[in-house]
């Protein structure tokens, strides 16, 4: 099945920010927080046999998502807070 939901994230995020612009008053401040990359080694809970490849790529996926989210958020004029 793979990550069939992944391609919809950018359009859903843009839709969310457009909605914010439409319904929130101008004096309202929106801050998008990014999450830090997770530990270098995933050992329990999240990893199942069918996803054994994910521990090697998860940190990259999170950093890439944070990078994209920060740029889109800023493009819509909202603030970004990167937690490290």
Q: What is the pLDDT of residues 10-63, one digit of tens each?
A: 788 889 999 999 999 999 999 999 887 766 666 655 566 666 666 667 778 788
| Token code pair at residue 68 | 């994209």
Query: Domain-by-domain residue ranges, the chain?
Result: 9-82
* pLDDT at position 64 over 60: yes
Predicted confidence at residue 1, as pLDDT, reads 45
| Token code pair at residue 82 | 């990167």
| Token code pair at residue 27 | 């004096």
Q: What is the pTM of this model?
A: 0.69
The conformation of residue 4, written as its DSSP 8-state character, comes to: T
Backbone φ and ψ for 39, nearest 5 degrees, come out as: -50, 155
SS3 33: strand
């Amino acid at each position: 099945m793979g990550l069939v939901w992944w391609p919809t994230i950018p359009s859903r995020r843009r839709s969310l920010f457009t909605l914010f612009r439409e319904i929130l008053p101008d004096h309202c401040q929106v801050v998008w927080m990014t999450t830090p990359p997770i530990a270098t080694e995933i050992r329990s809970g999240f990893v199942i046999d069918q996803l054994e490849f994910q521990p090697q790529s998860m940190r990259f996926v999170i950093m890439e998502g944070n990078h994209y989210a920060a740029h889109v958020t800023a493009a819509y004029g909202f603030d970004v807070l990167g937690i490290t």
